[in-house]
């Protein structure tokens, strides 16, 4: 009877130690998971900032290109006027409509 009780106590203490190790491993895994998600959150934040900067730069560049196109169209119309190309009012109106597209 005493040996059975000792065996039961040893088994119970081994089970307790085993459970303790499992809980320690779970806590460690939980900490690693938190570190991983924190790192991924930082990566996502950095990506958002870079994407926003890229978007703003693209919008600025598109606006610059629009200004260049408008300037070129204006120069082209002035050149046509200087050589008498748009003496015809219908032709001049058509050119202005094309410029707006």
Domain membership of residue 94 as a residue range: 2-100
Higher pLDDT, 82 or 73: 73
% of the chain surpassing 70 pLDDT: 68
- Both tokens assigned to 44: 């996502």
pLDDT at 86: 55
Domain count, the chain: 1
User: Mind spelling out the 3-state secondary structure of 20-72?
Assistant: HHHHHHHHHHHHHHHHHHHHHHHHHHHHHHHHHHHHHHHHHHHHHHHHHHHHH
Q: DSSP label at 84?
A: T
Distance CA 49, CA 60 (A): 17
pLDDT at 94: 74
End-to-end CA distance of the chain: 100
CB of 98 closer than 8 Å to CB of 86: no
Q: DSSP label at 85?
A: T
Q: Mean pLDDT of all residues in the chain? A: 82
pLDDT in tens, 3-47: 665 566 556 655 666 677 777 888 898 899 999 999 999 999 999
């Amino acid at each position: 009877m005493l040996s059975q009780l000792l065996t039961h106590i040893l088994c119970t203490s081994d089970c307790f130690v085993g459970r303790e190790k499992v809980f320690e491993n779970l806590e460690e895994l939980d900490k690693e998971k938190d570190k991983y998600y924190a790192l991924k959150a930082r990566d996502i934040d950095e990506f958002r900032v870079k994407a926003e900067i890229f978007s703003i730069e693209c919008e600025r560049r598109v606006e610059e290109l629009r200004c260049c196109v408008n300037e070129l169209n204006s120069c082209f119309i002035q050149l046509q006027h200087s050589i008498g190309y748009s003496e015809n009012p219908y032709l001049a109106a058509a050119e202005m409509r094309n410029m707006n597209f």
